[in-house]
Structure 1
């Protein structure tokens, strides 16, 4: 986006009463932010929702001074700015009516990968949540998804750390300007995240992490992702807001079930009970529901045929070679593995190209 256009869009954002929905309506009608400020009263009055109060606000020249200050911050801090009509704007977020007009980013974000998922949950993550998150991301790693979260305490930072550990791109969507990091204790992770992903926000440099900003931040997390995964949540919390937003955007939502007596499984269990989320017991569930299965004829998979299977995978492979097509439950029984274990093994073997899934939860060796 050229500097002059950015300047006028920034000024439009400072006009009191102009939110993302109204800004998009005006920009689409007039073609540019500069044209909005030079439009005649009759032209503005023809726009649904533009009354005399808003027309007066659009004549307020102080917004240009504020826009210039923010433009200088962007230029002096190497901040990247993406406009909602540009090609590099998150594709799924383009289809959200209330998506931000501008996104400010830092780091090395590359959204060409269509496999984008958000992982959210409680700030009081338990050992159960941590263990599930580790196994989940480890099993998904061969598919190279982008992991999006909010860089907060608990599930968020665990998801970011694990993404980095498994060399996946990760994006922290923050509820403040890019001149600061919240919480401050997470500053030690900033360099790593920016090396393999980065940070994203709609907030200007003068925006602090105020309570209401987190709700607005959550719609970006939900809107830009193909699916939202809730690892753990109490019966109330920001992650449930994100899940509801994802549902509103017609995105897939998954929740990890837990014991009914566990405080931080109540929110997930309720999402499942009210059919607002799919049950997530392993990475295989997500791969199946999102149709991320790798085609066996692909070149990438053919190369994987030469990898070595571990002892458990070899046991399953030998059984399938002998028995032919078989149900997941039967494979687990005959090979003496619990369901959660066999699901992970089958996913890894599928990614290596030695087995393939069939309709009806059947699997066969290739």
Structure 2
């Protein structure tokens, strides 16, 4: 984007009453941000949703002064800007109606890879959540996905570190400008992050990590990826907001199940129970639902399952290993187990990651 047009785009976004949706409407009607500022009031008034107050605000000199200051910061720090109509703008995010008009990035981000997944969760991550994150990312590593998260405490930083350890590109979406880092204790991770991906934000250098910015940040996390995975979450939390946004964008959502009594599994269990997320027990579940290259994936993730099975679980496992996929009624008949008991056993096996349900009450081993 040319510097003059970037300046006017910044000024447009700084104008009170103009957000991303209205900015796009103005840009569509008038062709460029510079033309928006050149337009006469009578032209602007003809555009649906543009009232007298917005027209007055566009004429204020303060917006251009603020834009000039931010442009100097961008230039001095060599920050990359992505305009929503640019070819390099994240393709899936571009399809979201409220996607940011401008994104600012730092580091070594390359979005040519179509396999992009977002992973979110509680800041009070448990050892169970940590282990799941690390194992999932290690298992997905042969497929070389881009891993997106919010660079916050807990699940976020575990996700970023696991991606780096597996030489995967990882992107931290920030709720503030690129002139600072939050939380400050994560500054030690910045260099590795920028080597293996980097940071992305819609916020200016004048923005602080205010509460409302985290909600806005979450729509980028949800919109940029093919799927959002909730690792752990309490009954309420930002991760559930991100999952809701992903559902609203018609994205796939996955949640890691946990014990009903565990505080930081309640949100995930609720998502699964209300059909707002697929149950996720391992990498194969994700690959299967996202329709990634199954043959390549199976070779990449061939891994011995060191899972302890009860006697009845072992009987079912051995049967499915011989038969391949089989209907619930047939498994019940062949194993001489009533349906109610068999269903409970299959659920336990599913949680252990050794079987998965298919359409039409079929099951197969993983």
Normalising by the smaller structure, the TM-score range is 0.7 to 0.9
User: CA offsets per residue over residues 201-223 of structure 1, 9 Å max, x none?
Assistant: 00000100000000000000000
In structure 2, what is the Cα distance between the partners aligned to 1:140 and 1:36?
46
Indicate the RMSD between aligned Cα atoms, in angstroms. Answer: 2.7
- The aligned counterpart of 1:87 is 87
- The aligned counterpart of 1:105 is 105
- The aligned counterpart of 1:316 is none
- The aligned counterpart of 1:264 is 264
Contact 1:103 1:200 (C-alpha < 8 Å) held by counterparts: yes
- The aligned counterpart of 2:49 is 49
In structure 1, what is the Cα distance between the partners aligned to 2:259 and 2:168?
30
Equivalence map 1:348-363=2 (5 Å) = none
Contact 2:173 2:200 (C-alpha < 8 Å) held by counterparts: yes
Contact 2:119 2:156 (C-alpha < 8 Å) held by counterparts: yes
- The aligned counterpart of 2:359 is none
Contact 1:145 1:168 (C-alpha < 8 Å) held by counterparts: yes
Contact 2:287 2:294 (C-alpha < 8 Å) held by counterparts: no
- The aligned counterpart of 1:201 is 201
In structure 1, what is the Cα distance between the partners aligned to 2:133 and 2:303?
22
- Where 2:228 maps in the other structure, the secondary structure is strand
User: CA offsets per residue over residues 151-193 of structure 1, 9 Å max, x none?
Assistant: 0000000000000001110000000000000000000100001
- Where 1:275 maps in the other structure, the secondary structure is coil
- By how many angstroms is 1:293 displaced? 2.7
In structure 1, what is the Cα distance between the partners aligned to 2:264 and 2:303?
35
Change (3 A) 1:152 1:312: closer
Change (3 A) 1:341 1:237: closer
In structure 1, what is the Cα distance between the partners aligned to 2:131 and 2:141?
15
In structure 2, what is the Cα distance between the partners aligned to 1:216 and 1:17?
16
2:185 is aligned with 1:176: no
- By how many angstroms is 1:362 displaced? 5.5
Equivalence map 1:80-229=2 (5 Å) = 80-229=80-229
2:276 is aligned with 1:279: no
- The aligned counterpart of 1:351 is none
In structure 2, what is the Cα distance between the partners aligned to 1:243 and 1:311?
31
User: CA offsets per residue over residues 134-166 of structure 1, 9 Å max, x none?
Assistant: 111111111111000000000000000000001
Structure 2 stretches lacking a partner, 5+ long: 307-317, 336-348, 357-361
In structure 1, what is the Cα distance between the partners aligned to 2:352 and 2:233?
24
Structure 1 stretches lacking a partner, 5+ long: 314-319, 347-359
Query: Structure 1-normalised TM-score?
Result: 0.84
Change (3 A) 1:165 1:32: same
- The aligned counterpart of 1:12 is 12
In structure 1, what is the Cα distance between the partners aligned to 2:22 and 2:185?
37
In structure 2, what is the Cα distance between the partners aligned to 1:28 and 1:160?
37
In structure 2, what is the Cα distance between the partners aligned to 1:25 and 1:223?
20
- By how many angstroms is 1:343 displaced? 4.8
Equivalence map 1:331-350=2 (5 Å) = 343=354
In structure 2, what is the Cα distance between the partners aligned to 1:363 and 1:247?
28
2:324 is aligned with 1:326: yes
2:286 is aligned with 1:292: no
2:76 is aligned with 1:71: no
In structure 2, what is the Cα distance between the partners aligned to 1:82 and 1:144?
23
- By how many angstroms is 1:275 displaced? 1.1
In structure 1, what is the Cα distance between the partners aligned to 2:365 and 2:120?
31
- By how many angstroms is 1:294 displaced? 3.8
Query: Structure 2-normalised TM-score?
Result: 0.84
Contact 2:230 2:239 (C-alpha < 8 Å) held by counterparts: yes
